[in-house]
A and B are shown apart, each in its own frame.
Chain A
Amino acid sequence: MSCITKFLGAGAVLAFTAGVAAAEPAIIYDLGGKYDKSFNEAAWHGAQRWAKESGKKFREVEIQSEAQREQVLKRLAQSGANPIAMTGFAFADVLNKVAPEFPKTKFAIVDSVVKQPNVQSIVFTEEQGSYLVGIMAAMASKTGTVGFIGGMDIPLIHKFECGYAQGVKSVNAKDKVIVNYTGTTPAAWNDPVKGSELAKGQISQGADVIYAAAGGTGVGVLQAAADGKILSIGVDSDQNYLHPGQVLTSMTKRVDNAIYNVFKAGANLKPGVKVMDLKAGGVAPAMDKYNAKLVTPAMKAAVDKATKGIEDGSIKVHDYTTDNKCPVE
């Protein structure tokens, strides 16, 4: 990262050390960036909603490099921000170290579990939502081949992949799922050119529905799918509007609700693990006017049935992160 962005980062750090009276909540976005049209943007929407309703302000920082995680977190805590929310598993190690230093500050982390008395860990059951979009993908596919493009190759994203594959196979056990990962470093969250190249590769292998769980990289995947006249599935935020009529659905992860709740609770934030599952409205396939024509009644019925099944426990969707294994390939 360049000097200039470092200056910007330093400037931001200075800005929030200057004069803070009331405890304002704060949010730190991960490397994908605030406007990734996906994960971080969802968090931003939640914070915005809180600000609009309460009429109060919040502080936000977009980190520019790995090295800034700890620095930004400490500075925010020192300046009296409370609670401090951060998006992304990558903050887990740093938070584990920093949280005990500021026992009076409440922290919230999305997508990872940090066992500290002043941390709320918010986790989503991505495998359940991915299972549902997998059902839709298999029903929409004509070739019997569907694709999955992940961002960084980590267990969390394998959780998406595994849930998706289970959903696909539940409809048709013979369907093929082509899997690609963008990379092995956090830069993989923000490489749309590579995303679109991977999508083109999957299209040439016969995939006609591609699910992108790749943050900002997904923009490129959705673009390539729209260019190649096949369907895609968005992630985290509702991305159906990006290419109306060409995005089958989006596996929404209500990070916005999570952040909204954190900010609303303020300093009274309850520590512990909070699971946002299908029942709690934490994950769901997005249905709106942009994909209304793509979702057939049969698809809708199948999704509703599977939703009920998962909620009452009759369908068990395996969570990859529990044993780092997927029952289907």
Chain B
Amino acid sequence: MSFDTIVSILDSTIRLGTPLLLACLAGLFSERSGIFDIGLEGKMLVAAFFSAAVAYVTGNAWLGLLAGIASSMVFAFIHGLASITFRGNQLISGVAINMLASGITVLIGQHWFHLGGITPALSGGARFQDVALPFAQALKGVPYLGLVYDQLISGHSVLVYVGFLCVPATWWVLFKTRFGLRLRAVGENPAAVDTAGVSVVALRYSAIAIAGILCGIAGTYLSCSLAAGFGREMTAGRGYIALAALIFAKWRPWYALGATMLFGLLDAVSNRYQTIDIGMLHIPNQFMSAVPFILTVVILAGFVGKAIPPRAGGEPYVKER
């Protein structure tokens, strides 16, 4: 395996891992505040659709991003209404969000564009173009480092950089601010937070709003940057993988980066080496494409140690009986 190959696989890892990372951080905010969020998938899907639709109509990817974030936040708010205000079951509400997103995107898509639920292909300014970082061209000639800088670090969509910046930002918000302290506390012991005179409901709503924004970016990245337009069910289970990564990461931001990039790497490797011949042994494509999932099970079962979720997760907060 040459150095070029390794760089190109890592490059692919970043592209495949970024939507997982954003969704994983969204789940992190939500679950740290005590709201389980199965609906990551649905929020990403609806954001992917509305961002592509608006980007196509306006020809502007940034307006698409705004629309994606807005639609994802609407869905997050529905989830909040059901599970915070009306104290419904958070898992059921999340599943409902996913179903609603899956149906409504195709329905509206067919109504607007008459293309069977997909949006027309985006081009030019309607898509996030790859950003070339400064000196990428100049440094190209430098052995190893030049290649890494040019291929791996430079030349991604701006949303990728946003995603990576979200990791330290999340860490800072969660562990270095008063808001973060309260957010974590409300996921562990909402009664204590309430006693201290801080509104549990407001904290939880703000957490799911942040989750909505992050899912919105993730969905927009899928449809307006990775692909050029929305396709039916285009999230393809990434929301659930992000949830698995969240458990793997034990609800911590830096671990989330590692976990999602590991999933991205597994995906990239299975894309690159679809069949492997080791002497007499021929490993078929079917096995290689299952490897990420097999490893997921193995890693989750054996290597993470004990992953303890936020203690108040999944329980609606009742102030007085």
Contact = CB atoms under 8 A, between A and B. Distances in A.
A binds B: yes
Contacts of A191: 231, 234, 236
Interface string B228-266: 110111101000000000000000000000000000000
Given A205-B8, A216-B231, A219-B121, A193 B103 contact: no
B122 to A, nearest CB: 9
B121 A181 contact: no
A4 B99 contact: yes
Nearest to B118: A35
Nearest to A216: B231
A193 B102 contact: no
A54 interface: no
Nearest to A29: B116
Given A2-B98, A4-B103, A190 B231 contact: yes
Nearest to B107: A4
Contact of A153 (B107, B272, B286): B286
A201 B12 contact: yes
A326 to B, nearest CB: 13
A48 B107 CA distance: 23
A80 B268 CA distance: 49
A34 interface: yes
Interface size class of B (residues with CB under 8 A): 35 or more
Contacts of B63: none
Contact of A193 (B11, B107, B236): B236
Contacts of A204: 4, 8, 11
B104 interface: yes
A127 interface: no
A187 B227 contact: no
B234 A180 contact: no
Nearest to B287: A184
B267 to A, nearest CB: 8
A8 B100 CA distance: 13
Given A2-B102, A3-B99, A201-B12, A223 B228 contact: yes
A101 B297 CA distance: 45
Contacts of A242: 121
A5 interface: yes
B115 interface: yes
B199 interface: no
A201 B271 contact: yes
Contacts of A184: 285-286, 289
A194 B238 CA distance: 12
B272 A193 contact: no
Contacts, number: 88
Interface string A16-35: 00000000000000000111
A198 interface: yes
Given A3-B99, A4-B99, A219-B121, A153 B104 contact: no
Contacts of A197: 12, 15-16, 226, 268, 271
A1 B98 CA distance: 10
A4 B227 CA distance: 25
B278 to A, nearest CB: 17
Given A2-B98, A192-B231, A181 B226 contact: no
Contact of A5 (B106, B227, B272, B289): B106
A198 B270 CA distance: 10
A196 interface: yes
B40 interface: no
Contact of B236 (A1, A187, A216): A187
Contacts of B268: 197, 201
Contacts of A163: none
Contact of B234 (A34, A183, A193, A200): A193
Contacts of B229: 192, 219
Contacts of A62: 116
A198 B15 CA distance: 12
A220 interface: yes
B232 A223 contact: no
A183 B289 contact: yes
A187 B289 CA distance: 13
A190 B232 CA distance: 8
Given A3-B99, A201-B271, A196 B4 contact: no
Nearest to A35: B116
A35 B104 contact: no
Contacts of A5: 102-103, 106
Contacts of B232: 33, 190
A30 to B, nearest CB: 13
Nearest to B9: A201
B222 interface: yes
**By CB atoms of chain B within 10 A, which of A34, A183, A190, A192 has the most?**
A192
B137 interface: no
Given A1-B102, A196-B226, A180 B15 contact: no
Given A183-B289, A191-B234, 10 more contacts: A2-B98, A35-B116, A180-B274, A181-B274, A184-B286, A197-B226, A201-B8, A201-B12, A219-B121, A223-B228
29 contacts: A1-B233, A2-B98, A2-B99, A3-B103, A4-B100, A4-B107, A5-B102, A5-B106, A8-B103, A33-B117, A34-B116, A153-B285, A184-B285, A184-B289, A191-B231, A191-B234, A192-B229, A192-B234, A193-B227, A193-B236, A196-B226, A200-B12, A204-B8, A219-B121, A219-B229, A220-B227, A223-B121, A223-B227, A242-B121
Interface of B: 4-5, 8, 11-12, 15-16, 98-100, 102-104, 106-107, 115-118, 121, 222, 226-229, 231-234, 236, 268, 271-272, 274, 285-286, 289
